[in-house]
Amino acid sequence: MAVSRTQYIYEQLDLMFPQAGCELNYGSLFQLAVAVTLSAQTTDVSVNRVTRELFARYPDPESLAQADIKDLEAIIRSIGLYRNKAANIKALARELVENHNGEVPDTMEELVKLPGIGRKTANVILSEGYKVPAIAVDTHVHRVSIRLRLAGENDTVEKVEEKLMEQFPREQWSHLHHLLIHFGRYRCQARKPQCEGCPFTDFCRCQADK
Residues with a catalytic annotation lie at: 120, 138
Detail the DSSP E strand segments found in 135-177. none
**How far is residue 204 from each of residues 16, 18, 67, 209, measured CA to CA in Å?**
17, 22, 48, 9
Give the N- to C-terminal CA distance of the chain in Å, as an integer: 33
Q: Are 51 and 31 in contact (CB under 8 A)?
A: yes
**How far is residue 8 from each of residues 69, 74, 166, 168, measured CA to CA in Å?**
48, 46, 16, 11
DSSP type of residue 190: S
Residues whose CB falls within 8 Å of the CB of residue 124, separated by 6 or more in sequence, listed in order: 22, 32, 36, 134, 136
Q: How far apart are CA 54 and CA 45, in angstroms?
A: 14
